[in-house]
């Protein structure tokens, strides 16, 4: 009887949130901004992360250069970056793609805080689902009479403690990112 797998799922959820928040450094050039953008390549009939398709370099604090290993993927990369919801405008010069990071405006900062709030809500939903699965498994153990009612309560308390621990971490990361967006 082990509920540690649920703690690992919570940890993965937190790591995913951290990687998502890292993409929101829209006021300065960073490879993390675009490297995980999924690019659909029609001739391959599959999606790949940008960092699996191209070299991503930072030219200066406001410019990202993307050099695909296969030049035939340039138009797909350009399209999917534009449609990624990151408010970036890629410039395809048929050799590489250049992205100029626009300056942050008050309106753009407010839009970004809405994106952070959406990430927060999605993460909370994931955590609730993990909790639901864990509690369901504990109830199953109890119904199968593999654990006592006392053990059931202990497991449920442990699950709630884990959820509280990760919720505090999630809330802190969201608060820090929202503050960072509004102050830089």
Q: What's the rounded Cα separation, in Å, for the pair 50 and 161?
A: 38
- Assess contact for 40 and 47: CB atoms under 8 A: yes
Q: Which two tokens stand for residue 41?
A: 């390549």
Which residue spans of the chain are classified as CATH 3.30.1360.40? 28-100
- Tens-digit pLDDT string for the chain (184 aa): 678 899 999 999 999 999 888 877 666 788 878 888 899 988 889 999 999 999 999 999 889 999 999 999 999 999 999 888 777 889 999 999 999 987 778 887 888 888 899 999 999 999 999 999 999 999 999 999 999 999 999 999 999 999 999 999 999 999 999 998 888 6
Q: What's the rounded Cα separation, in Å, for the pair 5 and 87?
A: 37
Query: Which architecture does CATH list for 4-20+105-183?
Result: Orthogonal Bundle (1.10)
For the segment(s) 28-100, the CATH number from 3.30.1360.40, 3.40.50.720, 3.90.1300.10, 3.40.50.620 is: 3.30.1360.40
- Assess contact for 73 and 67: CB atoms under 8 A: no
Q: Tell whether the torsion through CA atoms of 151, 153, 157 and 162 is positive or negative.
A: positive
Which residue spans of the chain are classified as CATH 1.10.132.20? 4-20+105-183
């Amino acid at each position: 009887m082990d509920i540690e797998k649920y703690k690992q799922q919570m940890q993965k959820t937190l790591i995913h949130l951290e990687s998502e928040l890292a993409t929101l450094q829209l006021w300065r050039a960073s490879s993390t901004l675009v490297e995980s953008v999924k690019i659909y390549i029609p001739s391959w009939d599959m999606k790949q992360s940008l960092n699996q398709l191209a070299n991503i370099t930072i030219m200066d604090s406001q410019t990202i250069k993307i050099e695909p290993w296969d030049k035939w993927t340039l138009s797909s990369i350009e399209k999917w970056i534009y449609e990624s919801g990151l408010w970036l405008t890629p410039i395809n010069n048929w050799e590489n793609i250049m992205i100029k990071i626009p300056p942050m405006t008050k309106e753009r900062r407010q839009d970004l805080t809405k994106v952070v709030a959406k990430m927060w809500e999605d993460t909370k939903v994931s955590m609730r689902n993990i909790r639901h699965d864990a509690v369901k498994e504990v109830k199953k153990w109890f119904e199968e009479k593999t654990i006592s009612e006392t053990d059931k309560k202990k497991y449920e308390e442990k699950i709630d403690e884990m959820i509280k621990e990760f919720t505090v971490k999630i809330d802190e990361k969201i608060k820090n990112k929202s503050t960072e967006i509004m102050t830089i």
